Amino acid sequence: MSKVMIISEKPTAARKIAMALDEQGSPKETKKEKISYFECYRGGDSLVVVYALGHLYELKQTEKGWNYPKMDMEWVPKYEVDKKATNIKRIIQLISRLSKEIDRFVVATDYDIEGSLIGYLTLKYACKTDPNQAQRMLFSTLTKVELESAFDKVSPTLDFPMIEAGQVRHEIDWLYGINLTRALTLAIKNVSGWFKIVSTGRVQGPSLAFVAERNIDTNLFVPIPFWIINIIGSHDGHEFKIEYQKKRVICKSTADSIVSDLQDKYATVKSVRESIITQPPPVPFNLSGLQTEAYRLFRYKPSKTLAIAQKLYLDALISYPRTNSQKIPKTIDLKAILTGLSSMRSYKGIARQILREELKPVQGERDDPAHPAIHPTGERPTRRLTQTERKLFDLIVKRFFALFGKPSKKASMRVDLECGGHGLFLRGLRIIERGWMEYYSPYAYSKEVIIPVISEDAELQLIHVSADEQYTSPPARYNHSSLLKKLERENLGTKATRSSIIDSLKSRGYTIGDNFELSTLGYAVYETLKQYAPQVLSVDMTRHLELEMEAIQKGVRTRNEVLSKARRDLAIILDDFKSKEEMIGASLINGLRRYWREKEVIGPCPKCEDGTLMIIQSPKTGKRFIGCSNYRDKKCDQTFPLPQKGRIVPLQKECPFCGHQMIKIVSRRTWETCVNWTKCLGRAEDLKVLDKKRRRSGVNNGEWSV
């Protein structure tokens, strides 16, 4: 009998692996100080299943000091970098103790760059064993069948190209993040004496540039008026919308002339054309596709979708979510998955219908050698899923069903008309066969526009004609989905890191709200870097590094080559930065002053007309309120209460009821009100909502106190 240690990534995965591999299906769990491990037996071997709880080791500078440049680093236990990671120390100690009696090591972390690196570092530093002697379990789901197969057909070696790529990605991100953030922060400190951390990084810089450039385009956009001709026609008692030959008319006099020419006239049918539109089923989900669809349907942020999908994966309900693949390989037992889904009441009908047909799913173009496209496993949930988990699981199942559907068929009709030399037309759409849309319901729908039977030379009365003035729209600001797609198109970041990069722009205070409106701080950082260190915002530089790291994974470049070049390039940037430090610091300080002022200043005081309304925090109670800038000097006693939670955003408008300054409160719900909201008669509805919230919760948790 040999003793085997299996290293997994998370407690849930460890339990699943132990349950699947134990011959009796009942492994022994040993708990101590909130951590545990599992013991089981298989084929005469004694198995010890441990978990790493994500990254146990992180990079740390080897020399002392909070200056830059810092080019040398080492892997250390995470608790040496993050003092809050107290659990990590106990886990490392447990793995180190258990590894002393182990004959064979098997890595069973997620099969991607991060998972491979976690397994490698755990072997090297916690187990103190040679990773070259370790084996690798490869799986895409945590089902019993696949885990047994992965263990029985274990790979004899680790995936070292993937490990090398993972190491260099962390090292380069550390180099750029630490040094550039310190450079910005110290520029402020050396000029003003303030210590305010202002961060940027290898991918964060270009991401900020995308957002800033779109904001600038939006803010500088000058709307141009145009007119749309709206026409309502009538025929045989039916009324329908008729479209003018031009979508936009750019001259008001021309628009008025068109209205005059068409009003109360008859249009003659010149032609009636019908065509059949065939729409194939959608391709399987990869992570980006799932995140985009979840945002479209549920408004889930990409990071939220990934977190939910990870939970579903750990529950063995779906395959591994961090994949680029849009393919379902032939090795996957489609019949078993559909049979499993047919046992669930919600999916029984469709699953059984698909099982009666040829199981040939639609395939996408993108592939991932490590994992297939995201798909359900056919396993039943063993716990009650939350509402968000149920919605995402249902979306993944329905998308899987849609892969087996027939193309949908729609009849598109166009009726061309003529009236007084003006071209008009009608458009209709009728669904002939729903096909895959039936399986993907309610996430796929198509609105039918039915046109009654109309023959050529028939006449339609134009009963209403008007010209509506509209204005051209500025470029839309990024949202979570569109920014995710932008990073993917530009090949910046990875499928696993893009969502966290997007979230970091908001957490750093660089953007406001879900439409990524640039804050004054974000604008100051962008303008400063653009003027003095444009390489930090460069898409080309970051994309080149991504390609270099991919080359390591393919085995055509070495880690040392890529890391050495990254150090040289960064040193040039930092030398140039150092020579401009005073100008950079002054630029950032101006931006910070504007940022802090905007966060505090509400508007002019309506009472004394000399002071400014500002957000003030009481030194006695710690509660915030709005008060006049002359309040502390006792020259003006004007104050207004505030909710104690949420971000306050001044609005450039006055209350239509009382004339006071309007503000926006951004919390679990976002709402607009005026500073006089507790006394304004027009704001009674706001108070009703707050009272309802208090009654429903049963306690006042502080969010609504004033």
Could you tell me which of 288, 217, 227 has the C-alpha nearest to residue 254?
A: 227
**Long-range CB contacts (< 8 A, 24+ apart) of 594-602?**
594/520, 594/524, 595/509, 595/519, 595/520, 595/521, 595/524, 598/519, 598/520, 598/650, 601/650, 602/626, 602/648, 602/650, 602/661, 602/663, 602/675
Average of per-residue pLDDT values in the chain: 90
Q: How confident is the model at residue 702 (pLDDT cuts 50, 70, 90)?
A: very low
Residue with token string 């260190």: 533
With a cut of 50, say whether residue 562 has pLDDT above it: yes
With a cut of 70, say whether residue 703 has pLDDT above it: no
pLDDT at 193: 86
pLDDT at 272: 94
Residue 327 corresponds to which tokens in the numbers above?
Answer: 């393919």
| Spatial distance between the Cα atoms of 344 and 325, rounded to a whole number of angstroms | 27
Residue with token string 């974000």: 522
Q: How confident is the model at residue 491 (pLDDT cuts 50, 70, 90)?
A: confident
Catalytic residue among 300, 320, 440, 523: 320
| Spatial distance between the Cα atoms of 300 and 392, rounded to a whole number of angstroms | 10
- Portion of the chain with pLDDT greater than 70, in percent: 96
With a cut of 90, say whether residue 34 has pLDDT above it: no
pLDDT at 622: 83
With a cut of 60, say whether residue 368 has pLDDT above it: yes
Reported residue count of the chain is: 706
With a cut of 50, say whether residue 198 has pLDDT above it: yes
Q: pLDDT digits over 611-622, tens only?
A: 888 888 887 888
Q: pLDDT digits over 473-484, tens only?
A: 999 999 999 999
User: Bigger pLDDT: 176 or 677?
Assistant: 176
**DSSP one-letter code for 534:** G
pLDDT at 693: 56
Residue 163 corresponds to which tokens in the numbers above?
Answer: 């490990």
Sign of the dihedral through C-alpha 544, 550, 554, 558: positive
Task: Cis check for the bond before 282: say yes or no (omega within 30 of 0).
Answer: no
Task: Cis check for the bond before 69: say yes or no (omega within 30 of 0).
Answer: yes
Q: pLDDT digits over 287-303, tens only?
A: 999 999 999 999 999 99
pLDDT at 704: 38
Does the annotation count 37 as an active-site position?
A: no
Q: pLDDT digits over 568-605, tens only?
A: 999 999 999 999 999 999 998 888 877 776 667 787 88
Are residues 480 and 255 in contact, defined by beta-carbon separation less than 8 angstroms? no
User: Bigger pLDDT: 654 or 349?
Assistant: 349
With a cut of 50, say whether residue 526 has pLDDT above it: yes
pLDDT at 646: 80
With a cut of 90, say whether residue 705 has pLDDT above it: no
Pairing of β 511-512 and β 57-61:
unpaired
Q: For the chain, what is the largest distance between any 2 Cα atoms, rounded to a whole number of angstroms?
A: 95
With a cut of 60, say whether residue 328 has pLDDT above it: yes
Class of residue 487 by CB neighbours under 10 A (exposed 0-12, middle 13-18, buried 19+): buried
pLDDT at 565: 92
Domains of the chain (ranges, CATH numbers): 3-158 (3.40.50.140), 167-219+479-592 (1.10.460.10), 229-281+408-471 (2.70.20.10), 287-402 (1.10.290.10), 609-697 (no CATH)
pLDDT at 699: 40
Could you tell me which of 166, 132, 192, 135 has the C-alpha nearest to residue 59?
A: 166
Are residues 437 and 405 in contact, defined by beta-carbon separation less than 8 angstroms? yes
| Spatial distance between the Cα atoms of 569 and 562, rounded to a whole number of angstroms | 11
**HEC letters along 268-325:** EEEEEEEEEEEECCCCCECHHHHHHHHHHHHCCCHHHHHHHHHHHHHCCCECCCCCCC
pLDDT at 550: 86
pLDDT at 512: 82
Q: pLDDT digits over 678-694, tens only?
A: 888 887 766 666 666 55
| Spatial distance between the Cα atoms of 595 and 524, rounded to a whole number of angstroms | 9
